[in-house]
Structure 1
């Protein structure tokens, strides 16, 4: 119970910091050069968009580690981490592919570029997380189910480095890697707000994963109790 309360407090702290980031992004952070971007005000969504992508990578990393732990050690904690990583990763992935098109419509005059590798690899990663989450809910828990979706999680994680590297290797419309400096880099004030956003979403994703692991444990315990009761009735 104390652990669950601590997880909730961590989530609340992350939400509060994310709220502060949003406010500062629209009020404190300076606007970008109007010559550099077509929609300088739409760029302010960046203070949530990029940290949300970072948080999704943390969650997908947990999905990978959990899947590996289940395959290698048959560890229940690995399966719990797999479940938490997939569901939390899906949440933040949806946040990214929702906020991105808003920015894209204003900046590029279209919400999506179907030829941009980074955009589409991240879309595929989010779709994979959705497949894992929805698939697990339609299948009974067991080794076969866990093996199947853990395999999907392991191979799907290959999309994470592809997405991260795509900006430099195949840059098209999506902005490049963020840097801090005077020569085309991020303004120092913008950097402060940005790193606050990264911190807030890191705290938020950690709290959500911890809380979700506890929920998955309870679900597994309930399933085990139900199986034992069914066995007694037979």
Structure 2
């Protein structure tokens, strides 16, 4: 019997298990950021003075130990690192799954369930395209409300006025809603998968898992929390 001594080994840090842990941890970091960001957005209901004061406090937090905007830059660096790590893990695992599934060109192996050779699932469809929608929205969101480069409804030095001016326009609210629904689908599956990867699942199937309820509750809190300000502003109910 002939054996090969040149078998290619994958480093432990690039193993499938390690990449799944990386994807889970980076995803949970982003979820934590979303919860904090949602809390800040809800301050719009307190009025312009309170909202602008909150926005400025984020920039001066920790002074003089931290420089101006020091906290924000720490958060930005950690968040960017989490996003890059998440995307890296997703791409590598996706390519390994395709290779393991026997993908040739754009087609997979044939099966009795799908004779065309294209295997689709809820996770593979919504997570992939939902992730692209979310990433595109993040870029727009930064250019609009952080960098003040894009100014639908009119530019302003006031964070409150930038929010209100933008969300008084119906198509801005519509695009924001679509993006948040994409975030919701991503979170619904992602939270359950992340907690399962980290050993939190003790059920034989997803329906009976208590993690399903946790994923639904957290997803609804985040999505509804983000959608309340734009719809309240559009309908003239914010104050």
User: RCO greater where, 1 or 2, for CA within 8 Å and sep 6 or more?
Assistant: 1
Q: TM-score range by the shorter chain?
A: 0.3 to 0.5
TM-score, scaled to structure 1: 0.38
